[in-house]
Amino acid sequence: MDLHLNDKQVIVMGGSKGLGFACAEALVQEGARVALVSRNMENLLQAAQKLRTASKYDIPVFACDVQNPADISRLGEWVISTFKGIDGLLLNAGGPPAGGALTFSDASWQTALDTTFMSVVRLTRLFVPIMRRQKYGRIAVIESSSVKQSIDNLALSNAIRPAAAAYLKTLSSETAADNILINTILPGPTRTERLEALLQSWAEKAHTSVDEITKRREAQIPMGRFGEPQELAALAVFLLSGKNTYITGQLIAVDGGYSRTVF
């Protein structure tokens, strides 16, 4: 199937590692022009190097911490001066730290709000006007299965991600007439560096091995295994493509059946 991504310009936030990198790789395979954004320039350069062998185009990179509004403004200036337009945007960053509902200070809540909620507001405020002028745009946002079903000991994610999803639902109805389609992806546990680090810390806490913890966690998933980043990327690429012409405002889980909710 031709996804109509050839030559399309897509910005991949959090594109240096994990789910973002898998999406960037899949977009490159479909012929898209990809630019990567994350905080650490070294990570970005390594990721771009890996992608260059498969890409017909250069892979521009930009260092930006989405927690910081001044960084987001600089990103906007870079995008406007570097690209003719933006066809696709993958919004993604690191997740908030683990912890119970009463364990965080005001400062920790503010940091999580800036990184996980306000970044989505600020980045869409930046990119949607560009897409409006083109009368075309596709935005996919990586959130978490915690939007549908809260996860133990992830109070920040459980509280903040549903707000981001509700904001995106509202925005999607305001942009649909301009052919800007916005969808939210809800990953369940997926094999990235972040998950490997979490498994290690859960194993230490439970005084057991990573293999044992992996078995216990995978047993909670109807498909009996963690996801692979490429499995999420397959959906993201479709949602970001010109082949997606009528799906907007949706929350779509890629979780092997992990969320036990109907909607």
Positions touching ligand NAP (CB under 6 A) are 14, 16-20, 38-40, 43, 64-67, 92-95, 115, 142, 144, 187, 189-190, 192-195
Closest Cα to residue 160, out of 144, 141, 139? 144
Rounded to an integer, what distance in angstroms lies between the CA atom of residue 43 and that of residue 245?
A: 34
**Minimum CB separation from ligand NAP for residue 235, in Å?**
13
**Minimum CB separation from ligand NAP for residue 87, in Å?**
21
Residue placing its CB nearer to ligand NAP in the complex, 90 or 171: 90
Residue placing its CB nearer to ligand NAP in the complex, 158 or 175: 158
Rounded to an integer, what distance in angstroms lies between the CA atom of residue 257 and that of residue 127?
A: 33
Rounded to an integer, what distance in angstroms lies between the CA atom of residue 213 and that of residue 203?
A: 6
Residue placing its CB nearer to ligand NAP in the complex, 1 or 152: 152
Residue placing its CB nearer to ligand NAP in the complex, 27 or 142: 142
Place of tokens 């999420």: 232
CA dist 196 → 18, 222, 256 (Å): 11, 20, 18
Residue placing its CB nearer to ligand NAP in the complex, 4 or 39: 39
**Minimum CB separation from ligand NAP for residue 12, in Å?**
9
**Minimum CB separation from ligand NAP for residue 144, in Å?**
4
Rounded to an integer, what distance in angstroms lies between the CA atom of residue 246 and that of residue 202?
A: 41
SS3 142: strand
**Minimum CB separation from ligand NAP for residue 246, in Å?**
26
